[in-house]
Amino acid sequence: MAKLEGQQNSALPEGSHRIIGRDAQRTNIAIGYAVASIVRTTLGPKGMDKMLVSDLGDIVITNDGATILEEMNVEHPVAKIMVEIAKTQDKEVGDGTTSAVIFMGDLCKEASKLLDQNLHASTIVKGYMQAASMCEKYLNEVSTDVSIKDTATLEKIAQISMGSKSVGSGDAKNALATLVVKAVSQVAEKKGNKYSVDNDLIKIEKKAGGEISDTRLIQGVLVDKEMVHSGMPKEIENAKIALVDSALEIEKTEVDAKIEISSPEQMSSFLAQEEKMLKDMVEKVAKSGANVLFCQKGIDDMAQHFLAKKKISAVRRVKKSDMEKLARATGARMVSALDDLSAEDLGLAGIVEERSIAGEKMVFVENCQDAKSVTIFVRASTEHVVAEGERAIVDAIGAVSSAIEDGKYVAGGGSIEMELSTRLRKYATEVGGREQLAISAFADALEVIPRTLSESAGMDAIDSLVELRAKHQKNGLAFGVDVYNGKISDMSAIGVFEPAKVKRQAIQSASEAARMILRIDDMISSRAKSPPPGGPGGMGMGGDY
């Protein structure tokens, strides 16, 4: 047998590494739990921040789970799976990344205990699968309906999702929550009985300087460009906006062309013809009735001069994504050829104005009627605070969108996890067989959320869990950890709400990843070890000089 194993290993390339059986499971579980432990202290409003410094010395200060894992630049395959969970959670629902990762870490830890009791990995996987499917059923039973018109509840959901981010005082968070709910409600589209929200239609622009309370919602689009000519009007009321995809300049021929000019008259005639072509382009814009032009490509200097004379304000090299947002906000139609530009293609805005913000000029397109694309302009004292403010708003947009699309929310503060845990324990006794051990382990892992919340608030974790279990066994459905007052409270009474979709996605992602890791019993790494790096300037390379 030893000889056969040696032959198997000799089939692998030199320098490759192999871990078999229980050792592979132990290693993977240990890595999963270690990564979860890194982000665990960031959970909740009392969570701590992490400072991440890149190879180039760039600093990121955050407690956003997805950002931390992405910036960490992990090497181990299991750690990369954890990063994927956070990314999926972020893309799918925009919030709950930290919860998903620490829940998966605890699922791995509980599975390790069962493996030590000689329970087979397949049995644990089956039990985890049953538990995850029951959690989904219980979530639907205990969740409450919410509609797009229920702004008070949606604002509370936004506040809770921003709770862990350090973005100013409670008043600032309340103001941001109101902005987010307004923005999401405005871009939401009704399809049948359901709403769908395209978060890309909410543009987020950030600029350091000012305070977080200066953050505001713009009913339209903020374009981070300046007007091309100093002679153009800088403030246009009742703007008629043209969106052009073609360049206002003389196109150079693609093939090699040779123009021979043998006299000054020919030269002046050639330049006059160029000027006439540019003038004709500007005339076409003016004829449509437009007084503001956004161009995706370039605008020639001469064309800029003619536009300024016609009192048409223009912005060039606007990003495609911004052009699409402008079309949704103003009702304009994008035109690829100037010949096709007509009054019907123009969009409307109450005001278009160029303003100087923190030393940079920007064009504000505001007061659009029924704008289906809006901008949140984030302000804060420093770059790091602005970046964290942006992350808080992105999380809040994700949470509010999820609540509107799914139409359901649950009580937060670890109350839903404790309720699911309580119900799973009852279910485990009904199942019988070895799977009940795995279902009970799943229930234990769910308790990591209320336990972590109580630890980060400086409460006694064991006392908190004991009290919570007692409350939930007596049908205290909404009881969770009140981190601000350091006690166990009714979360629905103090308005701590979270979207059911966020919880569902976190449980699904974490349980699927844990099951995948438990199924691995053999790890083969074919990468040969890299040679030791040489000294600076070619030193230590050996050889004669």
User: CA 404, CA 147: separation in Å to the nearest integer?
Assistant: 6
What number of H helices and E strands is found in the chain? 18, 21
Catalytic status, residue 97? yes
From the candidates 88, 97, 153, 452, give the one annotated as an active-site residue.
97
Within 13 Å of residue 543, how many CA atoms lie on the same side as its CB? 5
pLDDT band (50, 70, 90) for residue 10:
low
The CA dihedral of 416, 422, 427, 429, to the nearest 10 degrees, is 160
Evaluate whether 331 touches 350 at the Cβ level (below 8 Å): no
Strands 347-357 and 216-218: unpaired
Assign 122 to helix, strand or coil. Answer: helix
Q: What's the rounded Cα separation, in Å, for the pair 141 and 498? A: 15
334: part of which helix (H) or strand (E)?
A: strand 334-335
Distance, in Å, from the CA atom of 186 to the CA atom of 195, rounded to the nearest integer, reads 11
Mind listing the pLDDT tens digit for each residue in 70-118? 888 778 888 888 888 888 888 888 788 888 899 999 999 998 999 888 8
Query: Are 21 and 519 in contact, with CB atoms under 8 Å apart?
Result: no
How many CB atoms are located within 10 Å of the residue 245 CB? Answer: 14
Q: Is 234 within 8 Å of 315 (Cβ atoms)? A: no
Q: In the structure encoding, which two tokens stand for residue 504, read together?
A: 């569902």
- Using pLDDT thresholds of 50, 70 and 90, give the confidence band for residue 545: very low
Nearest 5 degrees, angle CA 10-CA 11-CA 14? Answer: 65
What is the C-alpha to C-alpha distance for residues 174 and 43, in angstroms, rounded to an integer? 20
Give the pLDDT confidence score for residue 535 in this predicted structure. 47
Q: Is 171 a catalytic residue?
A: no
3-state secondary structure 399-465: HHHHHHHHCEEEECCCHHHHHHHHHHHHHHHHHCCCHHHHHHHHHHHHCHHHHHHHHHCCCCHHHHH
| Selected residue with higher pLDDT from 409 and 274 | 409
HSE on the CB side for 88, CA within 13 Å?
18
Q: Give me 342's structure tokens.
A: 């007509």
Scanning the structure block, which residue is given the tokens 């009791």? 117
Q: Which two tokens stand for residue 180?
A: 């987010």
- Distance in angstroms (rounded) separating the CA atoms of residues 416 and 410: 7
The whole-angstrom separation of Cα 261 and Cα 259 is 6
Which DSSP letter does residue 209 get? Answer: B
How many Å apart are CA 488 and CA 473, to the nearest integer? 14
Hey, is 543 helix, strand or coil? coil
CB 6, CB 520: distance < 8 Å: no
Run of H or E including 148: none
- Catalytic residue of the set 345, 395, 406, 482: 395
E-only strand ranges, 47-201: 50-53, 59-62, 144-145, 189-191, 194-196
Q: How confident is the model at residue 260 (pLDDT cuts 50, 70, 90)?
A: confident
- Report, as an integer, the average pLDDT of 250-272: 73
Q: Which two tokens stand for residue 131?
A: 């538990």
pLDDT at 266 over 60: yes
Span 371-427, pLDDT tens digits: 888 999 998 888 888 888 888 898 889 889 989 988 899 998 889 999 999 999 999
Burial class (CB in 10 A: 0-12, 13-18, 19+), 15: exposed
Out of 40-44, 198-202, 251-255, 418-422, the most confident range is 418-422
Q: What is the residue-averaged pLDDT of the chain? A: 84
Contact by Cβ (8 Å): 356, 268: no
What percent of the chain clears pLDDT 70, i.e. is strictly above it? 89
Of 41, 62, 64, 95, the catalytic one is: 64
3-state helix, strand, coil in the chain (%, to 5): 50, 20, 30
Poorest-pLDDT segment among 485-489, 494-498, 525-529? 525-529
Instruction: List the domains of the chain with CATH numbers.
Output: 17-145+410-525 (1.10.560.10), 151-218+374-406 (3.30.260.10), 221-370 (3.50.7.10)
Triad 323, 326, 329: Cα angle to 5° = 155
**pLDDT value at residue 445:** 93
Residue 251 makes CB contacts below 8 A (sequence gap 6+) with none
Rounded Cα–Cα distance for residues 333 and 346 (Å): 7
Contacts of 176 (CB under 8 A, 6+ apart): 158, 162, 167, 212, 215, 389, 392, 393, 396
Q: What is the pTM of this model?
A: 0.80
98 an active-site residue? Answer: yes
User: Of 88, 98, 215, 375, which one is the catalytic site residue?
Assistant: 98
49 pLDDT band, cuts 50/70/90, is confident
Q: Are 110 and 440 in contact (CB under 8 A)?
A: no
Q: Tell me the mean pLDDT in the region 490-508.
A: 90
Distance between CA atoms of 449 and 410, rounded to whole angstroms? 15
